[in-house]
C-alpha cells in the first residue's frame, strides 16, 4: 500500500490530531452530533484505528510499519516501546521534532532534496536511523538555510524532547540519547498496534 496522499482533514476527523502529518486542525463536532452517530466499536476496529493513527502520525506506508513491528519484535524489551523508539529515531521525525521542518512529510522532502547532513555527510534517506551523539545540520547553502529558518520561524516555541538539543543560529541539532518512551507524549496505545499485527499472522 502506498503512502497516503488524500485529504488530511478526513483522517484527522476520524483519528484525531496528527501533527506529524499536517499542522492543520479541524473544528470539533458538537457533542449532540457525536452522540447521534456513535456506535459501539469492535475490538478489531479499535486495534485497527490505533494502528492507522500510528501509521498516519509518522507518515508511513503499511509495508514500512509492518517492517518496524517485526524489527521491534526481535529486539530486547517491550515490543511496543521499542517500536515507538525506532519510529522516533528516524531522521525525518528528528527534523520534525527539532522544528527544522513543519511536518514529517516536509522533513522527508528536505532529506530527499539533499538539504540535510548527518555528522557532516549528506543523507538523503528519510528513514535513516539516528543514533546518540549524531549531529544533524542543514547544508551550508542559502536555500537550505532559508527552508529551515522558515520552519523554525513558523513553528511554535514548544519545549524540545529531552533527547534532542537545538542550536537554531547554527541550523544544528544534536541527538543526546535514545528517546525514553515515557516522554513521547503521544496519545497512542502501542500495545494495540502490536496486538493488531500479531493477530494478522
The domain spans of the chain are 8-86+187-198, 90-178
The C-alpha cell 516501546 sits at 81
Q: Which of 103, 136, 138 is closest to 118 using CA atoms?
A: 136
| Contact in structure between 118 and 135 (CB atoms under 8 Å) | yes
**pLDDT score for 178:** 85
Q: Report pLDDT for 160.
A: 81
Write the pLDDT tens digit of every residue in 12-70: 655 666 665 555 554 444 444 445 455 688 888 889 988 988 888 888 889 999 999 99
pLDDT(2) > 60: no
DSSP state, residue 184 = -
CATH 1.10.357.10 fits 8-86+187-198, yes or no: no
At 112 the pLDDT is 95
pLDDT of residue 168: 81
CATH number of 90-178: 3.10.290.10
User: pLDDT by residue (tens digit) across 83-139?
Assistant: 999 999 999 999 998 989 988 889 999 999 999 999 999 999 999 999 999 999 999
Q: Say what the pLDDT of residue 154 is.
A: 82
Asked if 137 and 103 touch (Cβ cutoff 8 Å), the reply is no
pLDDT per residue as tens digits for the range 12-25: 655 666 665 555 55
Strands (E), 80-197: 116-118, 121-122, 135-138, 164-167, 172-175
| Residue 140 CB neighbour total at 10 angstroms | 9
How far apart, in whole angstroms, are the C-alpha atoms of residue 93 and residue 59? 10
- Can 8-86+187-198 and 90-178 be said to share one CATH topology? no
Q: Contact at 8 Å (CB) between 183 and 162?
A: yes
> Per DSSP, which regions of the chain are E strands?
116-118, 121-122, 135-138, 164-167, 172-175
Asked if the model's pLDDT at residue 71 lies above 80, the reply is yes
Per-residue confidence (pLDDT) for residue 38, from 0 to 100 = 59
The reported pLDDT for the residue numbered 118 is: 96
Check residue 156 and give its pLDDT: 61
Is residue 186 pLDDT above 80, yes or no? no
The pTM of the full predicted model, rounded to 2 decimals, is: 0.80
Amino acid at each position: 500500500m502506498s503512502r497516503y496522499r488524500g485529504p488530511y482533514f478526513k483522517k484527522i476527523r476520524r483519528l484525531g490530531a496528527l501533527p506529524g502529518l499536517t499542522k492543520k486542525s479541524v473544528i470539533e463536532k458538537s457533542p449532540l452530533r457525536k452522540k447521534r452517530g456513535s456506535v459501539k466499536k469492535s475490538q478489531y476496529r479499535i486495534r485497527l484505528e490505533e494502528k492507522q493513527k500510528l501509521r498516519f502520525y509518522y507518515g508511513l506506508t503499511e509495508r514500512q510499519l509492518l517492517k518496524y513491528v517485526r524489527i521491534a519484535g526481535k529486539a530486547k524489551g517491550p515490543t511496543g516501546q521499542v517500536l515507538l523508539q525506532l519510529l522516533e529515531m528516524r531522521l525525518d521525525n528528528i527534523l520534525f521534532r527539532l522544528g527544522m521542518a513543519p511536518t514529517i512529510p516536509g522533513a522527508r522532502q528536505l532529506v530527499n532534496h539533499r538539504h540535510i547532513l548527518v555528522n557532516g555527510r549528506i543523507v538523503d534517506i528519510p528513514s535513516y536511523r539516528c543514533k546518540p551523539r549524531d549531529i544533524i545540520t542543514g547544508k551550508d547553502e542559502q536555500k537550505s538555510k532559508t527552508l529551515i529558518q522558515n520552519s523554525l520561524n513558523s513553528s511554535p516555541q514548544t519545549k524540545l524532547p529531552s533527547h534532542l538539543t537545538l542550536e537554531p543560529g547554527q541550523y544544528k541539532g544534536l541527538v543526546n540519547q535514545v528517546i525514553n518512551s515515557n516522554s513521547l507524549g503521544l496519545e497512542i496505545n502501542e500495545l494495540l498496534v502490536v496486538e493488531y499485527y500479531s493477530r494478522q499472522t
